[in-house]
Amino acid sequence: MLHDPIMSAQKIQVAVIGGGLVGLSTALCIIECLPQCSVTVISEEFSPNTTGDVAAGCLIPHVYPDTPLHQQKAWFKETFNYLFKIANSSEASEAGIYLISGWQIFKSAPKEVYPFWSETVLGFRIMDETELAKFQSYKFGQAFTTLKCQASQYLPWMEKRFKSKGGYVEKRKVIDVWDLHGTYDVVVNCSGLGSRDLFGDQSIYPVQGQVLEVNAPWIKHFIRDGDGSTYIYPGISYVTLGGTRKKDDWSCLPNAQTSKVILERCCHLEPSLYGAPVIQEKAGLRPTRSALRIVKDVLVKNGQQLPVIHNYGHGGGGFSIHWGTANEATKLLQQLIPFIHHFKLVSKL
């Protein structure tokens, strides 16, 4: 859709920086909830070149140590319920959203036998000894059904849906956020690691992760070591094997030796993977902070103001909470609308 400046002149002009999982979901949520907004996603990269395109995309929450747990719980629940509806609709195959069952296993029982998300996933239960016998040297396990997003389908599906509702996309890097002032009334920052340079946030850092995609169509269950080191997630056309977590490593190039180690660890958990052909090796950077940053702010320079909503720092758990955080950012934008109207009026005088 072409941008019509006259049609959209009366609307609040929103620029979402970042076209990854968080940017697209936030832009979609805004356009669906706030019809008084005209929304443009501006991003240096889109799928297949975002962090989400590397990810397994499974809904098993990670814990953000400095974000209140009740918020994390609510965001996970909102995301799960939203995707569960899509998984049960005629959109499911195009969106790449499906249910998946499997096991999270531990060498000794974890502190939290029933994690905060156990009431949200389906059929959560503690594994019995007969099932655990599959995994030598593991003493405890949780069995449940959750959801999985195939990013190569889900990200383009969101973008298509966003455009069909009148949203715009632009592929470019934003060098200085003030370059958007004048054209846009408000900026929504979903730039992940880009927030370091754009907003000077030195507390966000990369945790590099490598995965392999292998051809093993007989694998129907996920298997995850509860310490997060090793996982096997069956997808639509391949199985994702992981993983690694290298703090402050900025390389997106997969390493052959690391791939060997991942394969060995996964074969130890699931011996039938021996000899499974490797389709692809990938590495990506989890945009990590001790707390998610979802806040509103007003930048001020030379007497001018630029309202900003931040939504970033999803680390290794973005898929698990993205719709909840998109809703949160949309609520913050809604609170800013009277201020933006007032500001538009004053600047016309």
Ligand X SMILES: O=C([O-])CC(=O)C(=O)O
Ligand Y SMILES: Cc1cc2nc3c(=O)[nH]c(=O)nc-3n(C[C@H](O)[C@H](O)[C@H](O)COP(=O)(O)OP(=O)(O)OC[C@H]3O[C@@H](n4cnc5c(N)ncnc54)[C@H](O)[C@@H]3O)c2cc1C
User: Which residues of the chain form contacts with ligand Y (CB under 6 A)?
Assistant: 17-23, 42-45, 50-52, 54-58, 173-174, 190-192, 194, 198, 209, 211, 242-243, 284, 286-287, 312, 314-320
Cα-based torsion angle of the residue sequence 47, 52, 54, 60 in order, rounded to the nearest 10 degrees: -150
Strand residues in 90-226 grouped as ranges (E):
97-106, 122-126, 140-149, 168-171, 186-189, 205-214, 222-225
Concatenating the DSSP letter of every residue in 158-192 gives: HHHHHHHTT-EEEE---S-GGGGBTTBSEEEE--G
Closest to ligand X by CB, 38 or 146:
146
Residue with tokens 């129907």, as numbered in its chain: 220
Question: Of the ranges 224-232, 249-257, 290-298, 304-312, which one interacts with ligand X (CB under 6 A)?
Answer: 224-232
Closest to ligand Y by CB, 57 or 167:
57
Q: Can residue 234 be called a binding residue for ligand X (CB under 6 A)?
A: no
Q: Which of 56, 180, 262, 266 binds ligand X (CB under 6 A)?
A: 56
Q: Can residue 228 be called a binding residue for ligand X (CB under 6 A)?
A: yes
Residue 50's binding partner out of ligand X, ligand Y, none, with CB under 5 to 8 Å set by partner kind: ligand Y
Can you read off the two tokens belonging to residue 46?
């889109």
194 is in an annotated binding site: no
231 is in an annotated binding site: yes
Amino acid letter, 207: V
State how far the alpha carbon of 212 is from the alpha carbons of 56, 172, 270, 286, in Å.
10, 29, 15, 16
How many Å apart are CA 109 and CA 128, to the nearest integer?
A: 13
Q: Can residue 242 be called a binding residue for ligand X (CB under 6 A)?
A: yes
Closest to ligand X by CB, 56 or 239:
56
161 is in an annotated binding site: no
174 is in an annotated binding site: yes
CB 83 to ligand Y: min, Å: 11
Q: Which of 209, 254, 307, 324 binds ligand X (CB under 6 A)?
A: 209
Can you read off the two tokens belonging to residue 194?
């880009």
Residues 60-79 within binding reach of ligand X (CB under 6 A): 60
Residues sharing a CB contact under 8 Å with residue 102, sequence separation 6 or more, in sequence order: 143, 144, 221, 222, 223, 224
State the residues that interact with ligand X by CB under 6 A: 56, 58, 60, 209, 224, 228, 231, 242-243, 286, 316-317
